[in-house]
């Protein structure tokens, strides 16, 4: 079985795929000080409760946009799974060209993983809207090339900024408002945030489509994708876990690069690279 680890700015998601289906997914907040032993104490117990035998895991791939989190994630794999993880980076075979001015190594790995999975599932040209800590818009052309996109603050960042900057505005949860006109302060905030983001999404996608000059498939992903899909008919597909599929597909494409489990020896805990 394959363990994929998607380490984002807000959460780290661990998921196990048996070659046919996902057997389990588990999420924990991103804390770079969390140790390999803490990951093991939390994750291995959840796997056991879900009926997933961690001893059956034979491959691991890690994708992260938080470099500081990689050290202990790698140690967890070496010490507790006796496996050397494959790290998703620009040196691997991604199977698609990159047509941007930024060096591929500087592109957020989550953005390329989304593009990889979306292209293989649906074919280009397309735009992926990822509702994460940031809201990202990534473009794949008709030839399957990654073409860049746009980055906006995520809704939770905007929500927190609004609460912190305005002394009398409360902290509220994200949700779809009952009406555009809020009859009290929390409802007014929720309306502005939700419908403001719907307008942002539709506006940016519209401008991208105008620049591309061709019809585009629009894919939504990320934890808040189902929520925002209720507020617009923009999306052709809603796939909350697209990044995990990207990691799975990248691991399969680079199977020859996955280190053999024998390389993760019993004294791996002393290897700090």
pLDDT given for residue 32 in this prediction:
92
Statement to judge: residues 79 and 116 lie in one domain: no
pLDDT given for residue 172 in this prediction:
76
The reply to whether 267 belongs to the active site is: no
Question: What gap in Å lies between CA 223 and CA 233, rounded to an integer?
Answer: 18
> Any idea how long the chain is?
273
Whether residue 272 is contained in a domain is answered as no
Name the one residue in this structure whose structure tokens are 């905007």: 158
8 A C-beta contact, residue 116 and residue 95? yes
- Average pLDDT over every residue of 116-143: 94
Statement to judge: residues 57 and 116 lie in one domain: no
Question: What gap in Å lies between CA 192 and CA 171, rounded to an integer?
Answer: 14
Please give the residue range of the domain that contains residue 19: 2-84
Q: Element (H or E) spanning 138, and its range?
A: strand 134-140
| Active-site pick, 18, 37, 72, 110 | 110
8 A C-beta contact, residue 70 and residue 87? yes
Q: Which two tokens stand for residue 174?
A: 């994200």
- Going by the annotation, the residues of the binding site for substrate are 108-111, 185
pTM of structure? 0.86
Kindly report the CATH number assigned to the domain that includes residue 31: 3.30.420.40
Statement to judge: residues 167 and 221 lie in one domain: yes
Helix, strand, coil shares of the chain as percentages rounded to 5? 40, 20, 35
Question: What gap in Å lies between CA 247 and CA 4, rounded to an integer?
Answer: 6
Statement to judge: residues 242 and 157 lie in one domain: yes
Whether residue 89 is contained in a domain is answered as no
Whether residue 166 is contained in a domain is answered as yes
Whether residue 93 is contained in a domain is answered as no
Domain count, the chain: 2
Q: pLDDT tens for residues 155-194? A: 887 777 776 777 677 777 788 888 899 888 888 888 888 9
pLDDT given for residue 179 in this prediction:
87
pLDDT given for residue 33 in this prediction:
94
pLDDT(222) > 70: yes
**51-82 residues labelled b (16+ CB within 10 A) or e (exposed):** ebeeeebebbbbbbbeeebbebbbbbbbbbbb
Whether residue 138 is contained in a domain is answered as yes
Question: What gap in Å lies between CA 11 and CA 232, rounded to an integer?
Answer: 26
Whether residue 266 is contained in a domain is answered as no
Q: pLDDT tens for residues 225-254? A: 999 999 999 999 999 999 999 999 999 999
Statement to judge: residues 117 and 226 lie in one domain: yes
Question: What gap in Å lies between CA 271 and CA 78, rounded to an integer?
Answer: 9
Whether residue 273 is contained in a domain is answered as no
Statement to judge: residues 126 and 26 lie in one domain: no
pLDDT(273) > 60: no
- Going by the annotation, the residues of the binding site are 6-13, 108-111, 130, 133, 185
pLDDT given for residue 167 in this prediction:
64
Statement to judge: residues 76 and 167 lie in one domain: no
Statement to judge: residues 113 and 245 lie in one domain: yes
For the chain, the first-to-last Cα distance in angstroms comes to 25
pLDDT(269) > 70: no
- Going by the annotation, the residues of the binding site for K(+) are 130
Statement to judge: residues 39 and 124 lie in one domain: no
Statement to judge: residues 136 and 246 lie in one domain: yes
- Average pLDDT over every residue of 209-228: 94
Q: pLDDT tens for residues 67-102? A: 999 999 999 999 999 999 999 999 999 988 999 998
The percentage of the chain sitting over the pLDDT mark of 90, rounded to a whole number, equals 70
pLDDT given for residue 260 in this prediction:
53
Nearest to 63 by CA among 183, 267, 266, 241: 241
Statement to judge: residues 160 and 196 lie in one domain: yes
Whether residue 94 is contained in a domain is answered as no
Statement to judge: residues 79 and 153 lie in one domain: no
Q: Is 144 left (phi over 0), alpha (psi -120 to 50) or beta?
A: left
Task: Indicate the pairing of strand 59-64 with strand 22-29.
Answer: unpaired
pLDDT given for residue 112 in this prediction:
94
């Amino acid at each position: 079985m394959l363990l994929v680890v998607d380490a984002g700015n807000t959460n780290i998601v661990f998921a196990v795929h048996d070659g046919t289906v996902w057997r389990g997914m588990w999420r924990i907040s991103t804390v770079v000080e969390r140790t390999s032993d803490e990951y093991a104490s939390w994750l291995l117990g959840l796997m056991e409760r879900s009926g997933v035998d961690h001893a059956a895991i034979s491959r691991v791939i890690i994708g992260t946009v938080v470099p500081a989190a990689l050290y202990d994630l790698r140690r967890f794999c070496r010490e507790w799974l006796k496996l050397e993880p494959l790290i998703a980076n620009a040196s691997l075979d991604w199977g698609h060209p990159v047509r941007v001015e930024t060096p591929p190594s500087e592109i957020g790995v989550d953005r390329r993983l989304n593009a990889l999975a979306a292209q293989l599932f649906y074919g280009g040209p397309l735009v992926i809207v990822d509702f994460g800590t940031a809201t990202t818009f990534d473009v794949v052309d008709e030839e399957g090339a990654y073409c860049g996109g746009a980055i906006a603050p995520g809704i939770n960042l905007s929500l927190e900024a609004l609460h912190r900057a305005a002394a009398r505005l409360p902290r509220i949860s994200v949700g779809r408002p009952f009406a555009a006109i809020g009859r009290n302060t929390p409802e007014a905030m929720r309306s502005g945030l939700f419908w403001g983001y719907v307008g942002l999404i539709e506006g940016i996608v519209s401008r991208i489509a105008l620049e591309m000059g061709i019809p585009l498939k629009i894919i939504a992903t990320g934890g808040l994708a189902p929520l925002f899909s209720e507020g617009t008919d923009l999306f052709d597909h809603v796939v909350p876990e697209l990044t995990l599929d990207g990691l799975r597909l990248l691991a399969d494409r680079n199977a020859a690069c996955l280190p053999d489990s024998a390389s993760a020896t019993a004294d791996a805990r002393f290897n700090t690279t």
